[in-house]
């Protein structure tokens, strides 16, 4: 894999799947611009990576002002955007909808849908001008099947999938590829302190490897949707 000369913009790129993918992108020679909510995570990752190909901006993907500023900084630093990974996401269980605060819904929609729209919109402005680009969105299988324990999370992911589905046909003739990345359960911070069989889940590196596979396909090949899971989880 040689991505030298390419620039990737990764949301939530200093933790979990985002960080694992950012590391692999750097190893492949790409410039990586991380957009991350936590300044502490940014500082830690920059120190760890120790690379002049890595830059970052602290902000919330749900903030239009922050997203626009981050893309301006990315363009100023690296000259453009070739790859967007919409990785940032938040999941809050809602097993009893009748007792769920509206703030829970708002938080997930703000990150999982609004954030995807805002970042995608800014990336498209660059990609349309250069007639090339690849937008990948970490949706998960929660965007394809419902979960009685987290219907609002599923709704936000179904919404993100809806954005990508229409977008994929809208921009393909302009040389821009769109990919939905749909892993099953992943051993990540998403689960918090919940008692789940993490040893049977995908690892963040597993997901990063799949993302890199999609990115490194020949220019004339696009994977519109990637569904994958852990064998141990499926065989439970």
Asked if the structure places residue 203 within a domain, the reply is yes
User: Domains in the chain: how many in total?
Assistant: 1
Cα–Cα distance, 134 to 6 (Å, whole number):
11
> What pTM was estimated for this model as a whole?
0.96
Catalytic site positions: 153
CB-based contacts of 11: which residues, under 8 Å, 6+ apart?
A: 18, 35, 36, 61, 85, 86, 87, 88, 115, 119
Q: pLDDT tens, 52-104?
A: 999 999 999 999 999 999 999 999 999 999 999 999 999 888 999 999 999 99
Identify whether 1 is part of a domain: no
Does residue 204 contact residue 187 with C-beta atoms inside 8 Å?
yes
Instruction: Give kind and range of the element (H or E) at residue 83.
Output: strand 83-86
Q: Is the dihedral of CA 72, 90, 157, 205 positive or negative?
A: positive
pLDDT at site 4: 94
Please give the residue that has the higher pLDDT: either 159 or 197.
Answer: 159
Token pair 């300044």 is at which residue? 39
- The percent of residues above 90 in pLDDT, for the chain, comes to 84
The answer as to whether 63 is a domain residue is: yes
- Plot region of 96 (φ>0 → left; ψ -120 to 50 → alpha; else → beta): beta
Helix axes 151-171, 115-130, angle to 10 degrees: 10
**Domain limits at 168?**
7-234
The pLDDT tens digits for 188-197 are 877 777 778 8
Look at residue 123 in the predicted model and tell me its pLDDT.
Answer: 98
42, 117, 36, 31: which is closest to 80 by C-alpha? 31
The answer to whether 73 and 33 are in contact (CB under 8 A) is yes
Q: What is the CATH number of the domain that holds 133?
A: 3.40.50.720
pLDDT tens digits along 108-134: 999 999 999 999 999 999 999 999 999
Domain membership of residue 60 (yes or no) is yes
Evaluate whether residue 2 is within a structural domain: no
In a domain, 69, yes or no: yes
User: Is residue 28 situated within a structural domain?
Assistant: yes
pLDDT tier, 8 (very low <50, low <70, confident <90, very high otherwise)? very high
Strand partners, 228: 183
Average confidence score pLDDT of the chain:
94
């Amino acid at each position: 894999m040689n991505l030298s000369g390419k620039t990737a913009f990764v949301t939530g790129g200093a933790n979990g799947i985002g960080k694992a993918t950012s590391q692999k992108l750097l190893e492949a020679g790409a410039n990586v611009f991380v957009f991350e909510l936590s300044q502490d995570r940014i500082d830690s990752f920059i120190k760890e990576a120790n690379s002049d190909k890595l830059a970052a901006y602290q902000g919330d993907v749900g903030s239009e002002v922050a997203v626009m500023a981050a893309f301006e900084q990315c363009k100023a630093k690296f000259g453009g955007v070739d790859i967007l990974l919409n990785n940032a996401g938040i999941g809050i269980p809602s097993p009893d909808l009748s007792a769920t605060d509206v703030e829970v819904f708002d938080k997930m929609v703000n990150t999982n849908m609004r954030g995807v729209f805002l970042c995608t919109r800014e990336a498209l402005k660059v990609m349309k001008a250069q007639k090339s680009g690849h937008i990948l969105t970490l949706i998960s299988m929660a965007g394809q099947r419902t979960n009685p324990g987290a219907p609002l999370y599923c709704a936000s992911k179904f919404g993100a999938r809806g954005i990508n589905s229409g977008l994929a046909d809208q921009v393909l003739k302009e040389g821009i590829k769109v990919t939905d990345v749909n892993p099953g359960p992943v051993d990540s911070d998403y689960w918090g302190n919940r008692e789940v069989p993490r040893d049977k889940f995908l690892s963040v590196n597993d997901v990063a490897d799949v993302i890199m596979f999609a990115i490194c396909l020949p220019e004339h090949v696009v994977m519109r949707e990637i569904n994958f899971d852990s064998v141990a989880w499926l065989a439970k």
